[in-house]
Amino acid sequence: MKKILLSAAVAAMLALMAVGCGVRHVTKENTESGESVSASAAKYAIITKQKDNAYNEKIISGFQSVMESTGNTCVVGEPSKGTAAEQIKMVNDFISEKVSCIAIAPEDADALSDCLKSAMKSGIDVCSFDTPALSDSRELFINQAGTNQIALTLMDAVLDISGGKGSWAILSASSTASNQNEWISSMKQTMKDAKYKDLQLVEIAYGDDAYQKSYNQTKSLLQSYPDLKVICAPTTVGMKAAANAITDTGSKVKLTGLGLPSEMADFIGSGKCCPYMYLWNPLNLGRVTAYVSVALDEGSITGDVGEEFKAGDMGAFKVTKASDGGTEVIVGYPFKFSADNIDDWKEIY
């Protein structure tokens, strides 16, 4: 018995080393001889964009809860520096571990393409969540909310909060993040409508989803554009950093974007910098990603348009065509957080 426990501990340690900082939690650890896990239990991997991002932690927790309730094993990769190089190493390690499916939010879809294709060639299913892998490097993208819907929602918030005219800026995450880039390009497209003609987008700044860089970028925006009316940050890290920078400097600039209620509750409301913001449920994003991983592995879906799968008490989801030529499943929609409801949500995510 002692020997089994020891080998489980060694295996857990090896698994941790295999992904660098990576495996934060292994729900059911395999042993070298396989004693503690049933032969039919599959092992599913999830790789987020970065460690120490509360939004990603919520996605992981949704993913793990489904894996636990369905009796499966899961391994988690969280890049400590948030780089594509760390993610590539994690994918390669998970290929060696022969996991059943890799779900990933690629930091840079181009850079991750080759290793994700290798994973699929070796028989491992691949899906992406939060931000898409290239259409030929995934079987399905789990999209939190429709790309154009997010862009339109944010543009209308900027229009409303600015009073319909004036200069505004975007504080994004990294310049290689496909989700950010698609939202921004759709916002620019939306802005062509006459209704936005008096708004001037003066700069797109990149904080790389690093708190300090996002804080500094916000301060630069405030200094460079004295007439700036609104900053829109389509990233939870950017929102929190910008809210602090605006508050610390006593600026009158208003903030909106995609923020986490638990991180933004203190900045929302009358006399505060953020009148309102949006997000979707990151726990549900993780849960649907888990159901997709299992369905791909079991072969009940292959990622083709028109397929349907059940995601527990969240009901049925349908696979649709994505704008990049691949396929996706849309989990939810941008939900508005304001002074009216922020206290109800700040404890949840």
Instruction: By CB under 6 A, name the binding residues for ligand RAM.
Output: 49, 53, 55, 130-131, 173, 179, 209, 235-237, 258
Residue (99 or 258) nearer to ligand RAM, CB? 258
Helices (DSSP H) in the chain: which residue ranges? 2-18, 54-69, 84-96, 109-121, 147-162, 178-190, 211-224, 236-249, 261-264, 282-298, 342-345
Residue 28's identity, in one-letter code, is K
Residue (209 or 297) nearer to ligand RAM, CB? 209
Residue (53 or 100) nearer to ligand RAM, CB? 53
Residue (19 or 258) nearer to ligand RAM, CB? 258
* Contact in structure between 88 and 115 (CB atoms under 8 Å): yes
Those residues whose C-beta lies under 8 Å from the C-beta of residue 293, and which sit 6 or more positions away, are 44, 46, 100, 101, 103, 125, 127
The C-alpha angle 345, 150, 116, rounded to 5 degrees, equals: 100
Separation in Å, CA 298 to CA 41, 172, 291: 11, 37, 10
Residue (55 or 337) nearer to ligand RAM, CB? 55
Residue (303 or 334) nearer to ligand RAM, CB? 334
**Min separation Cβ 56 and ligand RAM, Å:** 7
**Min separation Cβ 179 and ligand RAM, Å:** 5
**Min separation Cβ 55 and ligand RAM, Å:** 4
3-class SS at 222? helix
* C-alpha of 192 from chain center: 28
Tell me the C-alpha distance between 284 and 31, whole Å. Answer: 31
**Min separation Cβ 195 and ligand RAM, Å:** 25
CB atoms under 10 Å from CB of 252, counted, come to 10
What DSSP character marks residue 141? Answer: E
**Cβ burial, residue 68 (10 Å; 0-12/13-18/19+):** middle
CB atoms under 10 Å from CB of 166, counted, come to 15
**Min separation Cβ 319 and ligand RAM, Å:** 21
**Min separation Cβ 12 and ligand RAM, Å:** 28
Residue (55 or 309) nearer to ligand RAM, CB? 55
The dihedral built from the CA positions of residue 111, 62, 126 and 123, taken in this order, carries a sign that is positive
The C-alpha angle 122, 124, 126, rounded to 5 degrees, equals: 125
**Min separation Cβ 222 and ligand RAM, Å:** 21
Sort strands 276-279 and 335-338 into parallel, antiparallel or unpaired: antiparallel
Residue (83 or 131) nearer to ligand RAM, CB? 131
Residue (130 or 139) nearer to ligand RAM, CB? 130
**Min separation Cβ 235 and ligand RAM, Å:** 4
**Min separation Cβ 125 and ligand RAM, Å:** 22
